[in-house]
Amino acid sequence: MVTTWKKKAKKGKLPSKRAAAATTANKARYVSSKMGKTRALEAKASLRGYVPATKWLNAAVLQEMLSEHRMVYVKPNAGMCGDGVIRVEKALPENGASLRYTFQSGVRKKSFATFEGMYTALRKVIGKRRYLVQKGIQLLKYKGNRFDLRVMVQMTPAAKWETTGVIGRVAHPSKIVTNYHDGGKLKSVDTLLRRYMTANDRKLYVKRLEQLGRKAAKAVEARYKGVKEIGVDIAVDYEMKPWILEVNTSPDPYIFRKLKDKRVYAKIKRYAKAYGRL
């Protein structure tokens, strides 16, 4: 079922046939441009602080952002499932490394002495696709592997935005993305944040994420009328600050079947059916 979803998603065949058959008024809108959705979030003053600096990729921009942030993510504007996502790092000269520039795509890591050497190799990986570059966030870890969180926000049958689920995704040990469709493992947020927060703080944190999700949905809807569901990818840094990495407009609902609390997926499914997605 999950593989089928990924295939459909890649072919741009989302939402489902049933959704496609639904009336235009009822049809959930799909938006592919990461940059467009990022700008939609930044248009709301209250969300601006949660969005890592994001720019269109070119050599000058990458060089500048590497000097400022040391670690950045370079990703396709219209990608999904972690495809084509690259992590680029610049080591400090004090570290004594002669190969100061490194990038990793998939499980392959390559190092270079100069920015120019690195950028030439990077462009070969990128090809003709349109890419953006984003400040990298140091993700928290679970048993040594990075994780981030997925917040599902849906339009209720009463036409209100509601956060219906939050789940964590742990990266495959040798990958730089947490995507479930790229080897990631699903875990409850409570399990993942246990090392970092007390039980009470975890509860409050989830409430905060739910609110952030609703705000993100309103911001995206303000620019893209007809969006009925979003899946927000949220990174948490070591100061426990949440960062919105991206917003998906046709998020995989099935990942929530992994949660012990079966009511979560039941509600997600019910709402999705109401707007013709499932």
Ligand X SMILES: Nc1ncnc2c1ncn2[C@@H]1O[C@H](COP(=O)(O)OP(=O)(O)O)[C@@H](O)[C@H]1O
Given the rule CB under 6 A, which residues bind ligand X?
Answer: 52, 73, 75, 79-83, 85, 134-137, 139, 148, 177-179, 233, 235, 245-246
In the complex with Mg ion, the residue whose CB is nearer, 118 or 255, is 255
Q: Rounded to an integer, what distance in angstroms lies between the CA atom of residue 9 and that of residue 7? A: 5
* Region near Mg ion per CB under 5 A, out of 4-12, 125-133, 189-197, 231-239: 231-239
* Shortest distance (Å) from residue 137 CB to ligand X: 4
Tell the burial category of 161 from Cβ atoms under 10 Å away from its Cβ (0-12, 13-18, 19+): buried
| Dihedral (CA of 241, 245, 251, 256) sign | negative
Residue 216, SS3 per DSSP: helix
Cα gap 214→46, rounded to integer Å = 12
Token representation of residue 173:
């040990």
Nearer to ligand X, 172 or 270 (CB): 172
Q: What is the DSSP letter of 65?
A: H
Minimum distance, C-beta of residue 136 to ligand X, in the bound complex (Å): 4
Q: Which does 136 bind (CB under 5 to 8 A by kind): ligand X, Mg ion, none?
A: ligand X
73 makes contact, choosing from ligand X, Mg ion, none, with CB < 5 to 8 Å by partner type, with ligand X
Question: Within 242-271, which residues bind Mg ion (CB under 5 A)?
Answer: 246
Compute the half-sphere exposure of residue 157: CA atoms within 13 Å on the CB side of its CA. Answer: 9
Residue number with CB closer to ligand X (15 or 276): 15
Q: Is 233 in the site for Mg ion (CB under 5 A)?
A: yes
Residue 219 contact partner, candidates Mg ion, ligand X, none, CB within 5 to 8 A by sort of partner: none
Residue (89 or 252) nearer to Mg ion, CB: 252
Q: Indicate which of ligand X, Mg ion, none lies near residue 249 (CB less than 5 to 8 Å, by partner kind).
A: none
Total site size for Mg ion, rule CB under 5 A: 2
Q: Where are the alpha helices (DSSP H) in 85-229?
A: 115-126, 189-193, 199-223
- Give the separation between CA 137 and CA 159, rounded to whole angstroms: 34
- 61: helix, strand or coil: helix
Minimum separation from the CB atom of position 263 to ligand X (A): 26
User: In the complex, what is the shortest distance from the CB of residue 239 to ligand X, in angstroms, rounded to a whole number?
Assistant: 14
Instruction: Residue 81: name its binding partner from ligand X, Mg ion, none (Cβ under 5 to 8 Å by kind).
Output: ligand X
Q: Helices (H), strands (E): how many in the chain?
A: 9, 12
Which one, 118 or 227, has the nearer CB to Mg ion? Answer: 227
What is the DSSP pairing of strand 145-155 with strand 242-248? Answer: unpaired
- CA-to-CA distance for 52 and 134, rounded, in angstroms? 6
Answer with the entry of Mg ion, ligand X, none that 132 interacts with (C-beta below 5 to 8 A by kind): none
Question: What is d(CA 163, CA 159) in angstroms, rounded to the nearest whole number?
Answer: 13
Here the tokens at position 21 are 């058959």
Q: Which partner, Mg ion, ligand X, none, binds residue 210 by CB below 5 to 8 Å per kind? A: none
Question: Minimum CB separation from ligand X for residue 159, in Å?
Answer: 27
Site residues (vs Mg ion, CB under 5 A):
233, 246
